[in-house]
Amino acid sequence: MSRPSKGARLVWRRESRKKNGNIRNAAGWYIEDGGKRFSTGCGKDGRVEADQKLAAYISAKYAPSRHRDRSPDQVKVADIISVYLEDRAPFHKDPKETGARLLQVLTFFGRMHLSDINGNACRRYASEASTPAAARRQLEDLRAAINHYYAEGYVTAVPAVILPNKPIGRQRWLTRHEAARLLWAAWRMKQSWKGQESDRRTGRHVARFILIGLYTGTRSGAICGAAIRPKEGCGYVDLEQGVFFRRSAKQQETKKRQPPVRIPDRLLAHLRRWSTTPLEIKTKNRGKSKNIGRMISEDYVVEWSGKPVSSVKKGFKAACEAAGLGWYAEDGLFQTDVTPHVLRHTAATWLMQNGATLSDAADYLGMTEAVLRSTYYHHHPDFQADAAARITAKRPLPKRATNSNVVNLG
């Protein structure tokens, strides 16, 4: 009786040579499936990448089963993830990101049946993940895939997916002095070549990003994808009405709301200037100024070489280093707790410090009043002021005529 197939799996293969000394197969991780081997191109230190390629191989090869009313011990997790990637992931805001997370899940759970998923398996997965936050997000995707499979009637019952504890939210925000340092550092950043600083400015698109983030509290993705004028498939700024439409008209609303926001006059003046006077970067060549091209044109709010910027993480971290907003670890690498999302925290904090009402601030930021109250309201000048006055009063004080949520901005 023949042995049952072990299925697709990773194997380490040593280097082999021909009789003439030429290399036949380089050492590395290979995918072995049905007696055939396929190179992943990954060496000894590339096990993580090899796992991802194995998951992608299984997902591409596998035809998911859609038989109805099966018991959990008959359903493979690979089926569930494949069906979810086909049915739901294409409609997500970033399907590639969803796919990358589910490939991580498939690497660990791909050979299991649905009945094998329990608290112990989820905890083991979380212990092997890069961070608890990453494990939680990936397990949330697994839970969504299982629930979708159940809702379609392909399985009769589903297990509970146990998530790691939700990480404590960041409380970091920038003072106005820190914000000015960061903005100025980004604006003055220059490219260095072989240890020598050039005249090429490399951070002015980051400075634009910082300014918009501070004044509108908009999430990074919406800022990077926004156009100066109406454009298909992305948000835009209406320079005449002074309104920033954070998402395109065809984009579906999600839990992370992105309502239109009124642009402050100071920021609106900058945006109008950017739309009419694109920045030209010049460098000196033998004492003469040489135009090396437009680093920022008039099409998008934040762009590089005439194209929208998908992420500013690298440039933002460099600006933080230049501004001194961080520290150097023992290995000499720069670390910082200031991320692009801190700009949103900063905007919410400044609104509270300046006495904005919860309802106005929530509408402006695209945030619920509950989140504002629980996370930022302690910065408000009226935070528990009435209760603090009453606790020390020698006699009952008259009731306040206005709601505590309404602040006189006089």
For 109-160, the DSSP string reads: HTTSBGGG-SHHHHHHHHHHSS-HHHHHHHHHHHHHHHHHHHHTTSBS----
Does residue 264 share a domain with residue 328? yes
Question: Does a structural domain hold residue 324?
Answer: yes
Does residue 329 share a domain with residue 205? yes
Question: Does a structural domain hold residue 404?
Answer: no
pLDDT of 197 reads 66
* Mean of pLDDT values over 335-347: 95
Domain count, the chain: 4
Specify whether the backbone of 7 is left (phi greater than 0), alpha (psi in -120 to 50) or beta: left
pLDDT of 294 reads 42
Q: How confident is the model at residue 280 (pLDDT cuts 50, 70, 90)?
A: very low
Q: How confident is the model at residue 207 (pLDDT cuts 50, 70, 90)?
A: very high
Percent of the chain with pLDDT over 90: 48
Residue 2 has pLDDT above 60, yes or no: no
Cα distance between residue 256 and residue 260, in whole Å:
13
Does residue 119 share a domain with residue 197? no
Does residue 91 share a domain with residue 71? yes
Question: Does a structural domain hold residue 357?
Answer: yes
Does residue 386 share a domain with residue 267? no
Measured torsion, CA atoms of residues 336, 342, 347, 350, in degrees rounded to the nearest 10 = -50
Token readout for 377 is 């309201």
Does residue 56 share a domain with residue 72? no
| pLDDT tens-digit readout, 70-125 | 999 999 998 999 899 889 888 887 787 888 899 889 889 988 999 999 999 999 99
Higher pLDDT, 290 or 305: 305
The residue length of the chain stands at: 410
Does residue 83 share a domain with residue 55? no
pLDDT of 6 reads 58
End residue of a domain, out of 138, 167, 196: 167
Residue 36 has pLDDT above 60, yes or no: yes
Does residue 161 share a domain with residue 89? yes
Beta bridge partners of 140: none
Question: Does a structural domain hold residue 402?
Answer: no
Do the beta carbons of residue 311 and residue 325 sit within 8 Å?
Answer: no
Question: Does a structural domain hold residue 106?
Answer: yes
pLDDT of 19 reads 74
Residue 193 has pLDDT above 70, yes or no: no
Question: Does a structural domain hold residue 380?
Answer: yes
Could you count the other beta carbons within 10 Å of the beta carbon of residue 240? 7
Cα angle value 102/117/29 (rounded, 5°): 50
Q: Which of 30-44, 86-100, 395-409 has the lowest mean pLDDT?
A: 395-409
Does residue 118 share a domain with residue 85? yes
For residue 131, the enclosing domain spans 65-167
pLDDT of 114 reads 94
End residue of a domain, out of 167, 199, 234: 167
Cα distance between residue 37 and residue 244, in whole Å:
53
Does residue 71 share a domain with residue 54? no
End residue of a domain, out of 30, 45, 61: 61
pLDDT of 213 reads 97
Do the beta carbons of residue 361 and residue 196 sit within 8 Å?
Answer: no
Cα distance between residue 271 and residue 215, in whole Å:
12
Question: Does a structural domain hold residue 89?
Answer: yes
Higher pLDDT, 197 or 390: 390
Does residue 106 share a domain with residue 149? yes
Question: Does a structural domain hold residue 401?
Answer: no
Does residue 51 share a domain with residue 127? no
What is the CA 76 to chain-centroid distance, rounded?
A: 30
| pLDDT tens-digit readout, 150-175 | 999 999 999 999 999 987 767 899 99
